């Protein structure tokens, strides 16, 4: 804690005890939502409606700028019947689990480790944000080089005798899905770490001091102080990471283009292929809607947990 | 922290408040300023076709030589047409088609479009291209242009190519000399040479097995060599072609990594000097010249008599919402469709002219690297895309076959399985 | 921050992360000073004769103009996003009932929209507003893309502000607006700074909207210039990596500025 804030801290101790609760009229704060509602209403709702309409219509390059024929659930049926959507769903599930577990785990772990002040932490955080801000075509290409047969990772594995043959990171159907999921987590960890760190910094240092006096170990501090106090942040990061996993396709695009064959065709990449390679906008929109529905389930869970949080808080 | 808010003094908080308020105000101002229009065309800010004496050309070239070519074509036209200016606008390859179709929906767009010839049908159906029939009927040199480069959709001409690009077999002459083989002319010779190259510690061949249209373009020679054709798609012939190349992977002649390579990376691998062959295009001449530290040459791909090599390249057309289509046509006839103009792509990027008179020019016939490609055109030249594929299915067919190619080479499916699945998917698309 | 000593686990985590993020950066830097012939040569992974050609070729008037465009877009989008998302996040943190719940769900759905799917409808909107080919269109589109994200991210920071603070302030007779500006915002500033930085970086790198909504040559920002290094006819690896480094230098500057703010910005502990 910086010294300039010390007097303020002194005053905080003498803050009046919360008297009889005189809550301000809460709901007037609804007005704060107005600018966002107007702005998003103007610029985001129309694209959303367009996507939904596309999903239930026959839209190709030829009809995009003309009238769309309503076909109901035909696109959805076609997607599932061809087997593409079902296969993509299970790949997406694997992908999202890997991205979420690695992204959240190393995000929080990194934030806790980087809480220490010092040159290393500062430089590492800057490094991570630097990498995070690089465009996917750069990060994806770099990892494509690093994971190639003659890339650094395989060179090290072969030199240390851990493997006799190069690991087929990007061209074996099972390894490839894992590899693109890893690189996607790589891209989300700095973001999660940065937000977690900001949340951790808001914990009152006195709490840690008290815990130390009581002889709490590091892991106890993490478990009983840090994790509970960043719970709201965890919730929102969890949602954002899941959403990221469900919609991310640029690393797949750069690293495998969904291959070998169709082995890394996740839902977002499948939707991209359908809409912008095959120009079947309707089919692509339907695939995107399937992904949105998947996330909607998570959104309901999020809303419920927030309700709970409010009940407690 | 003082929570009781001491009002009058400009506290740090107040300053922060001011900062935020000014941020909000600034964003408003900025928006107002930005709507002022940055259009170079003046008047209505479309930035597409500007009318007047300006020809706006949308293209996806960023390679140094390709950009130079665009500049030289522009110079040629400007020199011949007093007062005319050409504005070349780069749009990334992935975005060009959707940007053109979006722009057509907003009734705007460029005067001239230079795009992947295979996607002519997509753009024509999307309403982004203007019909060229009237211009073409009045074009005096129309009979000099090879019919295979004229793109028609439902009987209407929408684009013409000024040149063609195609695949050949590049070889590393130093390696071939070391292992004592001649450049192959048959499949057996090629496979024997790759086996010898592998024994000498080199890789056999590089090519692209990316699961998309580039993969289909690379697969086509090998599968047609085994008798596959879109006229009558047969699973067995397709499987034989896929199995042959999968065999190269299993023999260690071709890296399975090729499923992640577009056509650029395998040639850069070849140019690094540790690979005997590369199935790649004439457009790689620049890369070969700058990067390869060894003797190299080209021969036609060693295909059977049924084999076909796609004649690709960029199509040139007029934007559907060009304000000045006549000037746009004059640009095309002075550059891509002109005998002299066609020599520029040949000299700068090594493309083959589509006019018979330009193709017979000394600049083309005297080039030892271009000659094998010219030979390939007469021996194996195939329309790209195959004319039997309905316009609206072209992209679908290419993706389907590209994925089958990648699945077989990458071992996701057995060649037979990949072929059977592909044929099943092709059925409804080709009807 | 009180003196936190790094334990062995923390050191191990930091080592792992340093490796994970240091190696790619090292690779980028090495490639950017190679000649293109050396990129695929296994023998010259570490041993090669360095050249600054890629940088020399990248530093042109076009680069400076594009950097100016990027700065305008990023600053404009960040200001607009914060001006809208900060109040919205506070509103969502302090209201109850079905409306904010639906609002949150809606934000998640919007966050889920594939960006590619928004290009075509937005193109129509901007065309009818006659905003095509203007920087305003790109800023507005970026803001629409990032506001749901920023709002979701900011909400927990406002939840963490103790309600008693606001009550105390309103007892003193301050209105809701003043309480928000003078009490709530300073306490949540860590979050606002962090999210503001992230928004700036995202807007700086945004590429799809810039490429689609600008129609005139020379208007592209840096992110679109980067895309030019990759084409179907050749990838200029040293050029791509050199431009990536140049593009990211301003990012580093912005980040280190806000990083300092974050380090000194410990205020919450004082009021709890």
CATH code of the domain in which B414 resides: 3.40.190.10
Is B79 part of any domain? yes
Across the interface, whether the CB atoms of A232 and C266 are under 8 A apart is answered no
Quote the minimal CA–CA distance from A82 to chain C in Å: 22
Bridge partners of residue B297, in order along the sequence: B171
Range of the domain at B402: 167-309+387-430
Cα C180 from chain centroid (whole Å):
25
Say if residue B385 is preceded by a cis peptide, omega within 30 of 0.
yes
pLDDT value at residue A121: 87
Asked if residue B234 and residue B198 are part of one domain, the reply reads: yes
Is A142 part of any domain? yes
Contact B214, B93 (CB under 8 A): no
Which residue is closest to B397 within chain A, CA to CA?
A278
Q: How would residue B5 be classed by pLDDT, with cut points 50, 70 and 90?
A: very low
Is A308 part of any domain? no
Is A169 part of any domain? yes
Is A37 part of any domain? no
Which residue is closest to C250 within chain A, CA to CA?
A130
- Angle (CA) C118 C121 C126, round 5°: 110
Q: Which residues of A253-275 are buried (b: 16+ CB within 10 A; e: fewer)?
A: bbbbbbbbbbbbbbbbbbbbbbb
Contact A130, C255 (CB under 8 A): yes
**Range scoring the smallest mean pLDDT among A67-76, B341-350, B351-360, C252-261:** C252-261
Residues 264-303 of A with CB under 8 A from C: 268, 271-272, 275-276, 284-285, 288, 291-292, 295-296, 298-300, 302-303
pTM of the model: 0.87
CATH code of the domain in which A181 resides: 1.10.3720.10
Q: How would residue B372 be classed by pLDDT, with cut points 50, 70 and 90?
A: very high
List, for residues C18-51, the tens digit of each pLDDT value. 999 999 999 999 999 988 878 887 777 777 888 8
- Domain positions in chain C are 58-271
Q: How many domains does chain A have?
A: 1
Is B21 part of any domain? no
Across the interface, whether the CB atoms of A260 and B407 are under 8 A apart is answered yes
Phi, then psi, of C129 in degrees rounded to 5: -85, 0
| A208 touching B (Cβ < 8 Å) | no
The partner residue sitting opposite A137, judged by closest CB among C9, C112, C226, is C226
Asked if residue B183 and residue B147 are part of one domain, the reply reads: no
Return the SS3 of A241: helix
Distance CA B242, CA B250 (A): 12
> Which residues of chain C make contact with B115, given a CB cutoff of 8 A?
none
Asked if residue B117 and residue B218 are part of one domain, the reply reads: no
Query: Which CATH homologous superfamily contains domain C58-271?
Result: MetI-like (1.10.3720.10)
Instruction: Give Cα separations from C154 to A38, A44, C87, C194 (angstroms).
Output: 19, 20, 10, 9
List, for residues B190-234, the tens digit of each pLDDT value. 999 999 999 999 999 999 999 999 999 999 999 999 999 999 999
Helix residue spans in A201-280 (DSSP H) = 205-213, 218-221, 227-229, 231-247, 250-255, 267-272
Based on its alpha-carbon atoms, the radius of gyration of chain A, rounded to whole angstroms, reads 24
Is A55 part of any domain? no
Range of the domain at A194: 103-231+249-258
List, for residues B89-109, the tens digit of each pLDDT value. 989 888 898 899 889 988 899
H/E stretch holding A43 reads helix A34-43
pLDDT value at residue B31: 52
Across the interface, whether the CB atoms of B395 and A261 are under 8 A apart is answered no
First to last CA, chain C: 15
Distance CA B295, CA B272 (A): 12
Instruction: Return the closest-CA partner of residue C218 out of C137, C133, C124.
Output: C133
Residues 70-109 of B with CB under 8 A from C: 87-93, 95, 98-99, 101-103, 105-108
- Residue A304 burial (CB count, 10 A): 11
Bridge partners of residue C235, in order along the sequence: C230
Is A96 part of any domain? no
Asked if residue B250 and residue B397 are part of one domain, the reply reads: yes
Q: How would residue A76 be classed by pLDDT, with cut points 50, 70 and 90?
A: very high
Q: Which two tokens stand for residue B252?
A: 């260690």
| C117 touching B (Cβ < 8 Å) | no
Q: How would residue B4 be classed by pLDDT, with cut points 50, 70 and 90?
A: very low
- Residue A112 burial (CB count, 10 A): 25
List, for residues B34-76, the tens digit of each pLDDT value. 444 333 333 343 456 777 789 999 999 888 888 899 999 999 9
Is B320 part of any domain? yes
Q: What is the mean pLDDT of residues B365-379?
A: 91
Return the SS3 of A308: helix
Which residue is closest to C83 within chain B, CA to CA?
B24
Q: What is the ipTM of this complex?
A: 0.86
Distance CA B195, CA B189 (A): 10
| A215 touching B (Cβ < 8 Å) | no
Asked if residue B318 and residue B284 are part of one domain, the reply reads: no
Which of C234, C257, C265 is most worth mutating to test chain B (most B CB atoms within 10 A of its CB)? C234
Asked if residue B114 and residue B198 are part of one domain, the reply reads: no
Asked if residue B173 and residue B272 are part of one domain, the reply reads: yes
Asked if residue B268 and residue B393 are part of one domain, the reply reads: yes
The partner residue sitting opposite C132, judged by closest CB among B45, B214, B268, is B45
Quote the minimal CA–CA distance from B192 to chain C in Å: 26
| B177 touching C (Cβ < 8 Å) | no
Mean confidence (pLDDT) of chain B: 88
- Residue C128 burial (CB count, 10 A): 10
Is B183 part of any domain? yes
Q: Which two tokens stand for residue B51?
A: 């009318």
Asked if residue B255 and residue B128 are part of one domain, the reply reads: no
Residues of chain B contacting A, Cβ within 8 Å: 1-3, 94, 97-98, 101, 104-105, 122-123, 125-127, 209-213, 255-260, 392, 395-396, 399, 403-404, 406-413, 418, 425
Asked if residue B426 and residue B280 are part of one domain, the reply reads: yes
Is A110 part of any domain? yes
pLDDT beyond 70 at C202: yes
Asked if residue B149 and residue B296 are part of one domain, the reply reads: no
Asked if residue B135 and residue B255 are part of one domain, the reply reads: no
Is A302 part of any domain? no
Which of B12, B104, B211, B218 is most worth mutating to test chain A (most A CB atoms within 10 A of its CB)? B211
H/E stretch holding C188 reads none
């Amino acid at each position: 804690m910086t010294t300039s804030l010390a007097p303020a801290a002194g005053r905080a101790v003498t803050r009046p005890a919360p008297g009889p609760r005189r809550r301000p009229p809460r709901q007037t704060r609804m007005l704060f939502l107005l600018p966002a509602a107007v702005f998003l209403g103007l610029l985001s709702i129309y694209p959303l409606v367009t996507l939904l309409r596309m999903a239930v219509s026959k839209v190709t390059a030829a009809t995009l700028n003309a009238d769309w024929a309503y076909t109901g659930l035909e696109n959805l049926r076609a997607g599932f019947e061809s087997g593409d959507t079902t296969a993509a769903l299970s790949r997406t599930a694997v992908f999202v689990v890997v991205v979420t577990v690695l992204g959240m785990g190393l995000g929080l772990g990194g934030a806790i480790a980087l809480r220490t002040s010092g040159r290393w932490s500062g430089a590492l955080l800057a490094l991570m944000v630097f990498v995070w801000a690089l465009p996917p075509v750069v990060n994806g290409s770099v990892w494509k080089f690093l994971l190639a047969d003659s890339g650094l990772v395989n060179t090290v594995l072969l030199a240390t005798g851990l493997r006799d043959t190069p690991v087929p990171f990007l061209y074996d159907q099972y390894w490839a899905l894992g590899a693109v999921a890893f690189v996607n987590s790589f891209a989300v960890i700095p973001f999660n770490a940065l937000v977690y760190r900001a949340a951790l910094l808001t914990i009152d240092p006195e709490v840690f001091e008290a815990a130390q006096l009581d002889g709490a170990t590091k892991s106890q501090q993490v478990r009983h102080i840090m994790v509970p106090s960043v719970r709201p942040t965890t919730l929102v990061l969890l949602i954002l990471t899941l959403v990221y996993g469900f919609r991310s396709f640029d690393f797949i695009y750069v690293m495998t283009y969904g291959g070998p064959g169709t082995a890394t065709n996740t839902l977002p990449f499948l939707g991209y292929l359908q809409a912008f390679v095959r120009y079947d906008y309707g089919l692509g929109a339907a695939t995107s809607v399937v992904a949105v529905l998947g996330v909607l389930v998570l959104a309901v869970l999020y809303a419920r947990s927030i309700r709970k949080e409010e009940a407690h808080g | 922290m003082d929570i009781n808010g001491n009002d009058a003094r400009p506290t740090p908080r107040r300053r922060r408040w001011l900062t935020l308020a000014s941020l909000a105000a600034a964003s408003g101002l900025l928006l107002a300023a930005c709507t002022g229009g940055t259009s170079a065309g003046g008047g209505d800010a479309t930035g597409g076709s500007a009318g007047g004496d300006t020809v706006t050309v949308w293209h996806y070239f960023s390679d140094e030589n390709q950009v130079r070519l665009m500049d030289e074509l522009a110079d040629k036209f400007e020199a011949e047409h007093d007062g005319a200016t050409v504005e070349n606008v780069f749009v990334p390859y992935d975005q060009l088609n959707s940007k053109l179709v979006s722009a057509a929906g907003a009734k705007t767009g460029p005067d001239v479009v230079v795009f992947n010839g295979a996607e002519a049908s997509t753009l024509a159906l999307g309403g982004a291209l203007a019909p060229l029939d009237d211009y073409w009927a009045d074009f005096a040199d129309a009979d000099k242009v090879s019919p295979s480069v004229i793109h028609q959709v439902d009987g209407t001409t929408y684009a013409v190519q000024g040149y063609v690009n195609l695949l050949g077999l590049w070889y590393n002459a130093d390696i071939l000399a070391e292992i004592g083989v001649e450049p192959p002319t048959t499949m057996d010779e090629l496979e024997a040479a790759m086996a010898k190259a592998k024994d000498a510690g080199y890789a056999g061949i590089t090519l692209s097995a990316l699961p998309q249209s580039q993969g289909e373009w690379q697969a086509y020679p090998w599968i047609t060599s085994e008798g596959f054709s879109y006229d009558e798609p047969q699973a067995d012939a397709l499987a034989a072609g896929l199995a042959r190349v999968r065999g190269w992977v299993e023999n260690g002649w071709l890296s399975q990594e090729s499923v992640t390579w577009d056509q650029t990376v395998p040639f850069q691998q070849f140019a690094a000097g540790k690979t005997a062959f590369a199935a790649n295009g004439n457009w790689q001449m620049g890369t070969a010249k700058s990067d390869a530290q060894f003797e190299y040459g080209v021969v036609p791909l060693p295909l059977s008599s049924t084999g076909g090599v796609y004649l690709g390249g960029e199509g040139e057309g007029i934007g559907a919402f060009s304000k000045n289509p006549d000037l746009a046509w004059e640009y095309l006839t002075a550059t891509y469709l002109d005998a002299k103009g066609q020599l520029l792509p040949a000299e700068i990027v090594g493309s083959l002219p589509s006019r018979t008179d330009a193709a017979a020019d000394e600049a083309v016939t005297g080039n030892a690297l271009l000659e094998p490609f010219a030979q390939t055109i007469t021996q194996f030249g195939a329309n790209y895309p195959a004319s039997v594929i309905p316009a609206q299915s072209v992209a679908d067919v290419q993706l389907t076959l590209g994925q089958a190619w990648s699945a077989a080479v990458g071992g996701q499916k057995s060649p037979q399985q990949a072929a059977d699945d592909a044929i099943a998917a092709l059925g409804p698309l080709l009807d | 921050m009180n003196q936190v000593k790094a334990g062995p686990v923390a050191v191990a985590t930091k080592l792992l992360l340093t490796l994970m993020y240091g190696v790619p950066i090292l690779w980028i830097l090495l490639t950017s000073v190679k000649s293109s012939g050396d990129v695929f040569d296994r023998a010259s992974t570490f041993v090669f004769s360095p050249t600054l050609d890629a940088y020399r070729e990248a530093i042109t008037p076009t680069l400076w103009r594009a950097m100016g465009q990027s700065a305008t877009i990023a600053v404009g989008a960040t200001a607009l996003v914060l001006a809208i998302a900060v109040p919205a996040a506070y509103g969502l943190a302090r209201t109850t009932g079905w409306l904010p719940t639906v609002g949150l769900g809606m934000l998640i759905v919007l966050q889920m929209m594939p960006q590619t799917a928004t290009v075509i409808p937005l193109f129509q909107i901007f065309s009818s507003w006659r905003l095509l080919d203007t920087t305003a269109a790109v800023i507005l589109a970026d803001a629409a893309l990032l506001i749901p994200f920023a709002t979701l991210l900011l909400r927990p920071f406002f939840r963490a502000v103790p309600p008693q603070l606001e009550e105390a302030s309103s007892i003193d007779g301050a209105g809701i607006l003043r309480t928000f500006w003078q009490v709530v915002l300073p306490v949540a500033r860590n979050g606002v700074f962090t999210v503001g930085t992230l928004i700036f970086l995202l807007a700086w790198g945004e590429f799809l909207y810039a490429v689609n909504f600008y129609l005139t040559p020379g208007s592209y920002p840096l992110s679109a210039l980067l895309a030019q290094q990759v084409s179907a006819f050749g990838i200029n690896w040293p050029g791509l990596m050199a431009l990536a480094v140049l593009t990211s230098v301003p990012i580093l500057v912005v980040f280190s500025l806000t990083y300092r703010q974050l380090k000194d910005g410990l205020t919450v502990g004082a009021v709890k």
